[in-house]
Structure 1
């Protein structure tokens, strides 16, 4: 599919979004009672569940407790029904292991790991439906789950994709746009400070276009942060009301 089909003469994408417009995001915190923290997120048609357990004593004897900081364990998986093609191995394949490592790097740079020496935090994410930006949706869902678990973070960490179509930067790429053959950039950042914690490109960008594509992804991260922060505040407010907190205090 050519770029001309993905971007109309009016500058709109196939789903009607403007180039700098995010897909619709829906969130819910506290979806699992058994987990220390959990969250569900929809970014367009990409749907992800995240659960956090810990901090707790390390269960695997082969891993030595770190005397200085917590061990962050991440596991990424996709439901067998998450795509049009049935997956034989929902977890443990090369792609899942790569994504798990990316998540581990992202959250090691975000969690205040020095507060929990000789312990472990487990982060599990499951893609229920995939329509582009799987890693980003997992990061955003896991961030909400960590907040729900009460684990101190240096900052929120949010993730967003961007691309370039006919010289126009696009934010929050859908699966159709990602498979069109154009370049795709995936970025995770601390939105308040602007610090980038992960950057990955599927194709090469011309150096002249790279700064604007990165800027578009960063702006997307900041917009997602605004949405997630409102969701957290709403969740805390509703939970406070359910246990009878006096908001006047």
Structure 2
């Protein structure tokens, strides 16, 4: 099957990560996955939530937002409505959980890393792009407080991708909005550099799916996340790659 954008079933969209996208955060990137574009920024503060005070451990939290002009039809600002949608809360919790899975919060010390993921253009896969981009921003941010006396606060690499079963019944990698809105099965997968799964969120949108179909989707996700992690290492370069997982 050849998709409308010319990709093969197992092919990622064109992707690009621009580091140091903003001058103020400790770490920031613009990640592009096809037409999806997300600004990911990481800020570090010398404070922790009250439940962590005196423990010597740090914390990481994430916030996610979709700019009104990011979608084909304008989306009202959540601040104007006075509350976040359930979708926003779900996504930012996913981003936070995923990033914390590769963090050594003891090594971070009593600091809080706040990750902001702002979608400036949406064409499917905004949550997975946010996780991949935020990982780079967090590594950059942690490098600014790393003095070599403790392990580096980031233990492993991390990336995320969407997979699904198309309307024609074929497993495909990295769904754009058109594919996502018509797919039979939709799945988001988060994996570490060691090949371990952090999150597998799969839903039969049009019908239930079989174990064989799930295995095919996970195989596609492994291929996509491995490719993205390889790219992350290229983007971080020798000055930062060696720090990840350093004890």
The corresponding residue for 1:136 is 128
Deviation at 1:90, TM superposition (A): 4.1
Between 124-133 and 195-204, report the one with greater CA deviation.
195-204
Give the TM-score, by structure 2 length: 0.84
Runs of 4+ with >4 A deviation: none
The equivalent position to 1:89 in structure 2, one of 56, 77, 80, is 77
Paired residues, number: 224
Q: Distance in 2 between matches of 1:181 and 1:160?
A: 15
Judge which range, 204-213 or 22-31, deviates more. 204-213
Structure 2 Cα separation of the partners of residues 74 and 222 of structure 1: 24
Match of 2:63 among 64, 71, 75: 75
Partner of 1:226: 230
Aligned alpha-carbon RMSD (Å): 2.1
Partner residue, 2:39 = 49
What are structure 1's unaligned runs of at least 5 residues? 1-10, 237-249
Alignment of 1:100 with 2:92, yes or no, is: yes
Q: CA deviation at 1:150?
A: 3.2
Question: What residue ranges of structure 2 are gaps of 5+ in the alignment?
Answer: 144-152, 241-247
2-structure distance, mates of 1:96, 1:150:
26
For the structure 1 residues 134 and 68, does the alpha-carbon distance in structure 2 shift closer, same or farther, using more than 3 Å as the test?
same
Counterpart pick for 1:169 among 168, 171, 192: 171
Deviation at 1:148, TM superposition (A): 1.8
- TM-score, normalised relative to structure 1: 0.83
Q: Tell me the distance in 2 between the aligned counterparts of 1:90 and 1:149.
A: 28
Change (3 A) 1:21 1:57: same
* 2:29 equivalent to 1:25: no
Aligned residue in 2 for 1:147: 139
